[in-house]
Amino acid sequence: MKNNMEDFFKNKRQQFDAAEPDVGHFERFQARLNKVDDAPKKKAGTPWYILAVAASVLLIFGYWMGNYNQNSASQGIELADVSPKMEETENFYLATIQKEVNEIKSKRTTANQKIIDDAFIQLELLETNYRKLTLELKESNADKRVIYAMITNFQSRLQVLQNLMDQLEEFEELVPQENRV
């Protein structure tokens, strides 16, 4: 079959060579070949600075994800995360505590500063205990005993603040006006 094809093309060659290229075709073709040879060759591969930027982005993303996972694991859940009623309870206690703290700060003098500082140390201990309870709440899947302990913690903080207010009122009655600084 190969011979048949070769014979066919040999016999019909005159018919296939009907079109002649335009004048100057060879020179144009040669000029293009020379132009391609003279063109500077590009390096294959990705430039180093693109790889450096990609590596930097990956490192930053990895660092951020590591910190995000570490922070979310070290934080508990608040009462507000349990239910809307618990959120309302938590907001009530936090607002009441903040109001009492602001009132106490407005009554601070050099004479009663030690009493106030001692009460605030107790409040800090209760807040630390509360943060531990938030972790326990997360681990226990909203156990009612932990929720009750958190509410009791809020009540204890309010009790400390109320006792402090009572002490400050007694202190104001005991210390004469001219001895206050």
**Per-state percent for the chain, helix, strand, coil, to nearest 5:** 80, 0, 20
The band of 159, judged by pLDDT with boundaries at 50, 70 and 90, is very high
Please provide the DSSP assignment of 8-76 as one string.
HHHHTHHHHT-PPPPTTHHHHHHHHHHHHHHSPPPPSS--HHHHHHHHHHHHHHHHHHHHHHHHHHH--
Residues 171, 112 contacting (CB under 8 angstroms) = yes
**Who has greater pLDDT, 158 or 178?**
158
Residues 167, 122 contacting (CB under 8 angstroms) = no
Residues 76, 136 contacting (CB under 8 angstroms) = yes
What confidence tens digit (pLDDT) does each residue in 9-39 have?
A: 777 776 766 667 778 888 888 888 777 655 5
What confidence tens digit (pLDDT) does each residue in 95-146 have?
A: 999 999 898 888 888 888 888 889 889 999 999 998 888 888 888 877 888 8
pLDDT, position 44: 63
Q: How far apart are alpha carbons 108 and 111 in whole angstroms? A: 8
Hey, what are 22's tokens? 């335009």
Hey, what are 29's tokens? 């073709």
Residues 176, 149 contacting (CB under 8 angstroms) = no
